[in-house]
Amino acid sequence: MNTRNAYKIRASRSSGRNRTAPVSMAQGNKVGNIPALDNDLSSGYIAPVCDSMPERNCRHPLTNMRQNAHLARCEESITNRFYSITSVLKHLGNIQHNENFVALANDITSKELDFNFPLQSLESAWINGLDMKLLYSKSIFNAINSSVNQFSEDLGRNEDSKVDTHSFFLDCGYHSVDITPCSDGRLKGLSKYIFRLPLSAITIRNSYAGALLNVESNVRDWEKIELSRLRNPSSGSSASRYLKIVVYHRSSSDPLHQGCAAHGSNDKLAAEAGLEKLTEFHSAIDNTYSCGSQIDLLLIGVDTDNDSIRIHIPDSNGELSIHRFVDTADLYNETLNLNSDQARVALFNSIDKSSDMSGWGKGEGKPSEGMRKVISNLLEYNLSQIEYVADLYGGSYPDLGHAEQFISVGDGFQEIQLRNIAYYAHLDTVEEGSADLDIGIKIFSGLNIKKGLPIPIAIHYRYDSKVPGSRARVVQKSKRVMAAILNRYKELAVGNNLFFQLSVQDLPLGSDLEIIDKEEL
């Protein structure tokens, strides 16, 4: 999903189409290949779209152009770190027998990868050749660390949006937002890109293969949040509720092959499984604490071809149906030629229209006012992402399937939010997360092993510095998880096809990334 030359590609896709230049990201200053915005928003380009989208001579009225430009620059800076690795290593392989190889290699990696390999791995190249599996894994891990550090440095810039979003959820009646998406790498940019929500606005985000959440673990997360609220009443009124969201995914262009692997690329099964897990979670809390009325549920499907979303609308009792939903792909087309006020009214009305449907999706009335506000805002934010994909990729991603760069194990890197960067396996123990891990290993057997590349696995957990001994215990846990993975996939380990980086991080978002070095191992 490299954004290099993306604007040249999309220009070629739009050739032969007659339309006037829309109001858009300006063509003036550039960062890499991504146009930056200036004060003249009318100096735009002709934006191509895929054949399935309507001809247009204007921007969608609700597109956040500045945010799109910023996200495009973020995407390019992160993807370039990963996608330049293979070409750099090929270059090093071609010159590894040069007399001044070490100096040349350091110069190349410093410029292209922004780091240098350990000297011993370069100095012995003339004898045994370069250990490409080792260098490849080190490059991937360096790209991860640099991306996390970049996020931490930029964290303070969006402080206002974090406060505003938290206040918005509180205004809608929700003190906490808990999201469980599928662990598929195509949903890795869910918060930052698809939903356009600041990471700090989401209280909990844990991914599972097929979005098949662990009910007991999720109940414990809920218990922790509610206990904290009892000790800190200012975090929300006593009448505020807990919002639990499950996100499944599908592929509109190739539903039989590029849907969710955990459900056999069956969209209906993926939606039904997500709804079943939401129901189990709600019932567990209601049966144990008799407070199910304080929890609202939401089911959302993502079309990973174009990042449009399908929000399943709760009825007045909070009940969901896989047949009752609003789809932003349809709304984009329907509201394209409206002004911004008309478009927002249309989004809100689409919720009411869905609530009034008959047949299989018939429900008992409309959702609460707070829920309707949350849904309408998610719909609006996602329209910008649809246009983002239209601008950079002509309406649909070129990599419809898996193209992840590493397996993320543990708590995951909240800071790296980008499509197809990582396959995420949330787990506390390998035994509990074996299904997620097995799917990840299967994916990377096709992506990497068949090409002679190893599987980089980044084991990452967060600790609480307020709790004595927390960091040391988390380090030990990371080591146990690595040992268990090596034991489970012995054949890959013996073939030198598994490489690990272990790291920890304090709980607050943007905390320093701490690599567990050899001394701690």
Active site amino acids: 184
Could you tell me if 410 and 503 are in contact, meaning their C-beta atoms sit under 8 angstroms apart? no
Looking up tokens 């152009």 gives: 65
Alpha carbon distance 373, 64 (integer Å): 19
Task: Round the CA-based radius of gyration of the chain to a whole number and report it.
Answer: 24
Alpha carbon distance 183, 273 (integer Å): 14
Residue ranges of alpha helices (H) inside 214-364 are 215-231, 267-289, 328-335, 340-355
Alpha carbon distance 462, 171 (integer Å): 30
Q: Is the dihedral of CA 319, 322, 324, 327 positive or negative?
A: positive
Using alpha carbons, select from 216, 262, 271, 274 the residue that is nearest to residue 432: 216
Residue 241 β-bridge partners: 174
Phi, psi of 433 (to 5 degrees): -100, 20
DSSP letters, 331-342, are: HHHHHTTS-HHH
Looking up tokens 């990497």 gives: 448
Could you tell me if 462 and 468 are in contact, meaning their C-beta atoms sit under 8 angstroms apart? no
Token pair of 159, please? 């402080």
The β-bridge relationship of strands 174-181 and 241-250 is: parallel
Could you tell me if 200 and 228 are in contact, meaning their C-beta atoms sit under 8 angstroms apart? no
Phi, psi of 243 (to 5 degrees): -105, 120
The β-bridge relationship of strands 308-312 and 295-303 is: antiparallel
Could you tell me if 381 and 311 are in contact, meaning their C-beta atoms sit under 8 angstroms apart? no
Element (H, E) at 76: helix 65-83
Alpha carbon distance 63, 13 (integer Å): 21
Token pair of 22, please? 């829309």
Three-class secondary structure of residue 204 per DSSP: strand
Element (H, E) at 295: strand 295-303
Alpha carbon distance 37, 194 (integer Å): 21
Token pair of 127, please? 């004898």
Three-class secondary structure of residue 9 per DSSP: helix
